[in-house]
A and B are shown apart, each in its own frame.
Chain A
């Protein structure tokens, strides 16, 4: 009998939940135990002596408790599961294809930004995302991809004084700056 997609989703979520709980339990348990290795030399020894607590104390406490609670969740889930059934992984990539593609787009955008600068990277990312989300008409796609970085750069950089990275290639960076100067003289009075 074919299982419904809903069941797959629920089952997948249970597996994911268990997986996350195990990873968090092991990871935070390790951090709690090995915490002294993660504290760098330095700090004020007198302050540590005065408050009688080392910088290890609070992180170890919170990671230790996270680990304990996560193990409780793991055992509770395993006890509630119908036999070993829960361990059969039934994640269907097809259900999450869009999410995986969008994640790749976000990672690509993050990777491009330091190299191409905000304007160019945003133009590429917006064009790719807009196309991915179903926009197939070339003119609106191009217009939206160009207007979005220019408008956001102008608003945030010129009106709100948030500086955004420029392209590493100087000729392009100069064009970006010239465009902003032009918009500023045109749109901002005085």
Chain B
């Protein structure tokens, strides 16, 4: 393992990796700064670019978009009080107040330093933990992988939507969509409805772009406003730069939030939004002056910003070691890995150890580029927030179509549009579609691992899964307890609201 780690360093000696990381960070920060656009949209639309690059270039490019996007969201959150992404909602509690006090620049720089520190430390922790975890996952078999996937899907479904039931519907629909096409085990074709285009199953790229890009475009035109942000941003009144003593005062908050974000990142489905809120409330609780929070407190920026960026690295742990994506971005990243001929899972560190370590190391180096670019690009992106929708949306639409066409099949455009329109309607009805996409990419592993488990079970699957395999049993029982708890909690709430 250590040898693979050392070999990974030699793969880092190429300039194009860093050029594409810088490009990804720039795109991410730009998209993140636009309140109507999401980082997921940017990663989805630009995913096909990564396919055409080598893995050592294409995957860091996508990671760059993610890192930049989360920070970019804080620019509009601080300057005009409109969060660019969900992850920066907690930043709006203190950001606009600081801007009104003439400390906008201090707040922006605090957001940058906190984001970079959170990301950097969590990436280092990920790098240190992922090898031993990968070794542990080699000890588990198909029943355990099946149980962990089920546990993750239950967790993701329950926390992603406003109700666990809707999350469950989305997840099972995603599984159903994943079963369309040729069955990998028996070779039979199913659910193609006579359409040749569906024989190979629903292709991942049109599905991802359909789910994440088309609804965003439609949501952006709901309002008749010409721009995402109408407020005028005057950076000449942004005030002085952040001083060292101010940063030093927030170091404890940054470190605390980094640990919070790192812990939350490992759990599938929880994500950056929750991490940011927990980071904010932890900073407030630990503060000697909690009354200053919400009125323009720099710790109120450092807390959420370090926590939301610290989620990035650890989300890769379940993805790379078990092949389980914990959120939208990692579901798309799974697609990128597969397209490059790498199937994340217990074997990947054995088969492609040096490349995996090189990728993880490149994510750490990306934070240095992140810091430098952030310092230079805060001002232009603060102004770019006022860009007209009339230029942005047609460009995104064209890129979405190019993305779907990258599969080489024009019929994929139809799949993307149909999925996109259905996704918009479902999102309007309060369905979060992250479980759908994650379940879609997990359909094949679920089918494979459950088939294998049933074979091993020799006709008594329940006894085998719950009695003979303790790890599988632990995760399945945990999933059942979680569902029971959610059901009981919902019943209690309904009962209380009636009386």
Contacts and interface: CB of A to CB of B under 8 A. Distances in A.
Nearest to B395: A148
Interface in A148-163: 148-149, 152, 156, 160-163
Contacts of A177: none
B312 to A, nearest CB: 26
B222 A20 contact: no
Interface string B165-195: 1101100110110010001011111111100
Given A17-B429, A70-B169, A148-B394, A109 B217 contact: no
B188 A106 contact: no
| A interface bracket (residues with beta carbon within 8 Å of B) | 35 or more
A9 to B, nearest CB: 10
A179 interface: no
A134 B186 contact: no
B347 interface: no
Contacts of B48: 156, 160, 162
Interface string B422-451: 001110111100000000000100110011
Given A40-B188, A42-B189, A125-B394, A20 B405 contact: no
B344 to A, nearest CB: 22
Interface stretch (B296-304, B348-356, B413-421): B413-421
Contacts of B405: 118, 162, 164-165
Given A113-B401, A125-B397, A133 B221 contact: yes
A163 B408 contact: yes
Contacts of B172: 28, 62-63, 65-66, 69
A135 interface: yes
A190 to B, nearest CB: 17
A165 to B, nearest CB: 6
Given A44-B187, A66-B172, A98-B222, A148 B414 contact: no
A31 interface: yes
Contacts of A144: 391, 394
Contact of B189 (A40, A129, A149): A40
Interface string B370-409: 0000000000000000001111011101110110011010
Interface string A111-155: 001100010001001100110111100000000100011001000
B410 interface: yes
The 9 closest A-B pairs by CB, nearest first: A43-B188, A66-B172, A133-B390, A62-B175, A17-B429, A160-B52, A55-B188, A129-B394, A135-B390
Given A51-B185, A51-B455, A106-B214, 19 more contacts: A13-B428, A16-B428, A43-B189, A44-B188, A48-B188, A63-B176, A66-B176, A69-B172, A76-B165, A95-B222, A98-B221, A110-B401, A130-B391, A133-B394, A134-B388, A144-B394, A148-B398, A149-B398, A160-B48
21 contacts: A13-B429, A16-B428, A17-B429, A19-B429, A20-B429, A47-B187, A51-B451, A58-B175, A58-B447, A58-B450, A69-B169, A99-B221, A114-B410, A118-B402, A122-B401, A125-B394, A126-B397, A129-B393, A135-B388, A160-B53, A163-B408
